[in-house]
Amino acid sequence: MQSLIRPICLVGSRSIRPLGACCPTAMPDSVRTRNCSDSKTISVNQVKSRAQEAAKAHNTTFGFEKISAEQKKNLVKGVFDSVASKYDLMNDVTSFGVHHCWKDYLVERIRPIPGQQLLDVAGGTGDIALRFLKQAKINGLRLGIRSEQDTKATVCDISTEMLAVGKARPGVPPEPHLTWLEGDAENLPFESEKFDIVTIGFGMRNVTHMDRAMEEAHRVLKAGGRFFCLEFSHVDNPVLSRIYDLYSFQVIPVMGQLLAGDWKSYQYLVESIRKFPSQEVLADMIREAGFKCVSYENLFNGIAAIHVGFKL
């Protein structure tokens, strides 16, 4: 089935825009590279100003509503506890299944191998972690690496209910291969330099202080580790943008009410996408957190984007 949907999801729908440096030996061939000087046409102070302004603006919003930063964590937890039982179904329906393609492609870019340790922040019901473990096994067989005992994935999420749904999925690997842990992206309950890869998929826009979450991701990564952020982003086609807005605001909340009995939560999720920083600003913020060789790749003309940074 995957071979049938991949061309629809990926071919002709990506645009690649590396910002600053990329590491040629660690990135896919399709991503253009530049040297690791991170040279830019704007000054360092301008980068800092843009990143700080974006973080400040996002810290005080819950969708389109302005709130204090202290309120957001509990409100976000309430949203995901509320929709947890229908979350995977709603993702399938509202994205027409395309979110599976994006997550598959994310894991392809990670290129997991046996022995690596993944932390999936805001990992919810475990979509990315399960894909990581499966692909690590496949890649290990291709490379002639038979041992999988040291391959581990950890799902960390603020929502107890989302984690409970994930644990109840059929065929979930036992601990220590897959660990589920309630935790805050801004204060991760892990020692420094523990993980090879940190991912956050469709969760960054729900974080109160994105700069802190990125700094925490940097802290828990080993030297040479990689950070991947898959998130809804800014559409770069005016016609598609209008269609996307119409669908998002007029259809998705209605589906939320019909399928999950929750209009407000899906209205928030739609609004939170529109308040999220642009691809360029998010890349600047990832650099400010200490990551190097930062790049991003648009999916579906910017409906979603994958940002990548390295801890060097």
User: Token pair of 262, please?
Assistant: 């929750």
Q: How many C-beta neighbours within 10 Å does residue 263 have?
A: 15
Question: Interior CA angle at 230 toward 226 and 233, to 5°?
Answer: 135
Q: Rounded distance, CA 294 to CA 21, Å? A: 6
Q: Which residue has the tokens 């209009």?
A: 263
CA distance 253 to 297: 28
Indicate the annotated binding residues.
125, 157, 184-185
Decide: 295 and 307 in contact? Cβ < 8 Å: yes
Q: Buried (b) or exposed (e) across 247-258, using 16+ Cβ within 10 A?
A: ebeeebbeebee
- Residue 137 in contact with residue 131, Cβ under 8 Å? no
Task: State the CB neighbour count (10 A cutoff) for residue 37.
Answer: 8
Taking the C-alpha atoms of residue 101 and residue 228, their distance in angstroms, rounded to an integer, is: 16
CA 182 to mean position of chain CA atoms: 17
- SS3 at position 306: strand
Known binding-site residues for S-adenosyl-L-methionine equal 125, 157, 184-185
> Which is it for the CA torsion 57, 216, 41, 308, positive or negative?
negative
Please report how the helices 160-167 and 69-83 are oriented relative to each other, as an axis angle in degrees rounded to 10.
30
Triad 113, 9, 249: Cα angle to 5° = 120
Distance CA(65)–CA(170), nearest Å, equals 38
d(CA 271, CA 65): 9
